[in-house]
Homo-oligomer: A and B are copies of this chain.
């Protein structure tokens, strides 16, 4: 791992570490070294939660606590974190043991998400809460800006399920119809079929779940639940 290499990651994060060892530790999976990132992940998870809580509190002054909680759960879940980690190309920087490398650990959503949280924790240690908050928001602000407050923070799959249940229709059937791209940079394609309505839609995304969300969203649009 050369300094040049890490400089690229610093640029994407919008943050230059004073103690570069902290960044290196944040990128180190337990399979690679005893000096791994799990304690930093613990710290980073809490900074992330606190930052998102504050951002949602400020952005949606009229929403009740329950809605803010649901919104936050959606934002800090593994899929969202893994997608951000992929955008940051964290897979290129992570230090994994040989076994994990061979089994493709650098593209596993759980490892990607944990590494991202570890980086947030490392910034918190390096320069305090406000610095960590800025690094988190740089990644999350666009997502938060795109939230529809009328959707009560529920994701498309949940909304579709509730809409179908209210009409006493059977639940949707999600099926992986294929993948595109190289293993390192894969796109999943999922079909969502609503038997009661004879509707089938498609969605795609960096994870199976993201593709399912897109397919569910397409159904909601088709039945007029979302404009």
Contact = CB atoms under 8 A, between A and B. Distances in A.
Contacts of A130: 128-129
A173 interface: no
A68 B46 contact: no
Interface stretch (A19-27, A47-55, A94-102, A205-213): A47-55
Interface stretch (A10-18, A35-43, A182-190, A217-225): A35-43
Contacts of A39: 57, 64-65, 68
Contacts of A43: 53-54, 57
Interface of A: 38-39, 41-43, 45-47, 49-50, 53-54, 57, 64-65, 68-69, 124, 128-130, 133
A49 B76 CA distance: 15
A128 B129 CA distance: 10
A69 B42 CA distance: 7
A48 to B, nearest CB: 9
A190 B128 CA distance: 44
A65 B69 CA distance: 24
Nearest to A42: B65
Contact of A46 (B42, B49, B124): B49
Given A42-B69, A45-B53, 20 more contacts: A38-B65, A39-B64, A41-B65, A42-B53, A42-B57, A42-B65, A43-B53, A43-B54, A43-B57, A46-B46, A46-B49, A46-B50, A46-B53, A46-B54, A47-B50, A49-B50, A50-B50, A128-B130, A129-B129, A129-B133
